A and B are shown apart, each in its own frame.
Chain A
Amino acid sequence: MTTAGWLMMTVSIGLVLSLVSYCLFSVLMGEENEQP
């Protein structure tokens, strides 16, 4: 795989993982805070 290939793969997967982690963390923290 070329350097550009590694770059595209790392950036794409990194972006998606960051987004899904942020969203899930926010949702789970929100649910915890909303518990009575």
Chain B
Amino acid sequence: MASTPPEHSPQPSPARGAADGWTSRLGVILAVAGSAVGLGNFLRFPGQAAANGAGAFLIPYFISLLVLGIPLCWAEWTMGRYGGSRGFNSAPGVFSSIWRHPLAKFLGMPALLIPLVIYMYYVVIEAWCLGYAISYLTGDLMLGPGAEKYSEFFDGFVGAEADGALFAAGNRSLLWIVIGVFALNFVLIYRGVANGIESFCKIAIPAMVICALCVLVRVLTLPDHASGRTLDDALGFMWNPDFSKLAEPSTWLAASGQVFFSLSVGFGIIVNYASYLKRKDDVVLSGLTAASMNEFFEVCLGGLITIPAAFLFMGAMVGDQGTFGLGFNALPNVFAEMPGGRFFGFLWFFMLFLAAITSSLSMLQPVIAFFEEGFGLKRPASAALLGLVSAMGSGFILFFSGGMVALDTFDFWVGTALIVVLAFIQSLLYGWALGIDRGAEIAHEGAKLRIPHVVQLMLKYVVPVYLLVIFVASFWQSLGEKIGQIRESTVVFGSVLFIGVVATFLLVLIGLAGRRWEAEGLYDEGESGEGI
């Protein structure tokens, strides 16, 4: 694997397929932050913290951010801009430009499969958020106190009762919302990186901050609950540290997992976004800014709103809710009891919708970029092909909605397990194929900050081991159970088969694109003569 990539060309070749790019540094930072900020910041993080030592959870969390999260972000930004300077915007091309081996382009397959498959179910969750926001506007979700009412509403709305429930007459509201959200994503992606993604994120991120701050002010000014619980108790449930939890490995694992999943590293998105930067554009400060914005949403907003509000109205039982339970069952119950709850419920779910759409947009761009540079497709053809494939996946998720089995299966195999694998591949490509000295040199071109050398050493030696530990500890134990489910459940089997077919399809396309790049001599463009 150890091979030296060539020097930058004096005049880098333009990206194939599109001469698209960011119009400002703030634009790309907002786009990357928008990609990272999602439901996990507001729902998963507070739940993980409350269950793992509350305030004490922040200690392993910040350590993981420094050791794992930010270094991986910098590596992805650096590799992406490097690949972009050699004319590649998609992971197969970028990885080939870093490691000149026939297999390198195939290592980029997960970087296409992950965003594509996650988009298939994420767009459905995005539609849940918009549907809930609309339900607050119409008053349909003001059902009064009683957790079971919201649980029933949720099951009916998402079709969790049975497969095909969303296609039954009289229960198609989610279906229409999904179609609308799906179309909105493709309109924005069709407009390109600058006019679509960047322009939208410049509006959506400030709008999210405003919505979240309004809800935060409401939560922090709530009166005491009739049960006697006060806001002070509620904040204490989220922040009072239980230092004994620091002795448990599971706390450290949960913290590093949260950092990893939250920053959108290992999704193949940052590599793609950074590839549209110019050669002398800064990646170090930009990467740190995007990561810190994600932390602002997670720690400052997610940490002060979700669990404190839910605890104040519902007590300690909120600690047992999962991500969806907290977001779509507990919080609507809270808004029903809260003064001005209908308005704040709308603001909250509209903000979650914005957080989701800035993420789903980022999942489409890597695949669009691959279709365009791999086969010379124009935007209408690439968008149509991607629309067809992703609509099939979303249709599969919508039809097999019973118990959300298909969604959970897609999320486990691709949205949870495979992203650790891709992050591992990327850490090896950066640390061992590109090399940390060359990596530092490339990262510091045009940089507004210096990356300490110890970070490069961590990227080479610590991060791959850390990722292996996360993978083994998080998934190894549940792997047997998950494989058992494939044998027992037709829907799980069908879901895994679907993912396998898409992966095979992408591998074939990557092989064909690689031949095209080889025949056109694109791998050799920009070499300084030092070769590999």
Interface residues of A (CB under 8 A from B): 1-2, 4-9, 12-13, 15-17, 19-20, 23-24, 26-28, 30-31
Contacts and interface: CB of A to CB of B under 8 A. Distances in A.
Contact of B286 (A5, A9, A27, A28): A27
Contact of B236 (A5, A16, A17): A5
Contact of A26 (B55, B239, B285, B299): B285
Contact of A12 (B29, B58, B232, B289): B58
Q: What are the 4 closest A-B residue pairs judged by CB atoms, nearest first?
A: A8-B55, A1-B236, A23-B289, A5-B240
B26 A5 contact: no
Contact of A16 (B26, B292, B448): B292
Interface residues of B, number: 32
A30 B29 CA distance: 13
Contact of B300 (A5, A6, A13, A26): A13
A13 B299 contact: yes
Contact of A20 (B62, B233, B238, B295): B295
Contact of B293 (A12, A20, A31): A20
B300 A9 contact: no
A8 B26 contact: no
Given A30-B448, A31-B24, A15 B62 contact: yes
Nearest to A23: B289
B24 to A, nearest CB: 6
Contact of B240 (A4, A15, A24): A4
A23 to B, nearest CB: 4
B296 interface: yes
A34 to B, nearest CB: 8
Contacts of B239: 1, 5-6, 8-9
A5 B235 contact: yes
A23 B288 contact: yes
Given A1-B240, A13-B303, A16-B296, 10 more contacts: A1-B232, A2-B240, A5-B240, A12-B299, A13-B304, A17-B300, A20-B292, A23-B285, A24-B293, A30-B448
Contact of A31 (B25, B240, B300): B25
29 contacts: A1-B239, A4-B240, A5-B54, A5-B235, A5-B241, A6-B239, A8-B239, A8-B240, A8-B241, A13-B299, A15-B62, A16-B300, A17-B296, A17-B300, A19-B288, A19-B292, A19-B295, A20-B293, A23-B288, A23-B293, A24-B293, A26-B285, A26-B289, A26-B449, A27-B25, A27-B29, A30-B25, A30-B285, A31-B26
B282 to A, nearest CB: 7
Say what secondary structure dominates the interface of chain B: helix
Given A8-B56, A16-B300, A30-B285, A1 B25 contact: no
Contacts of B293: 20, 23-24
Contacts of B58: 8, 12
Contact of B55 (A5, A16, A24): A5
A1 B286 CA distance: 36
A16 B24 CA distance: 24
A27 B56 CA distance: 32
A2 B233 CA distance: 9
Nearest to B289: A23
B355 to A, nearest CB: 17
Nearest to B243: A4
Contacts of A13: 299-300, 303-304
Contact of B26 (A2, A12, A27): A27
Find the residue from A1, A4, A13 having the highest chain B CB count within 10 A. Answer: A1
B488 to A, nearest CB: 43
Contacts of A30: 25, 282, 285, 448
B296 A20 contact: yes
A33 B241 CA distance: 44
Interface string B204-247: 00000000000000000000000000001101101111000000
Contacts of B449: 26
A4 B438 CA distance: 44
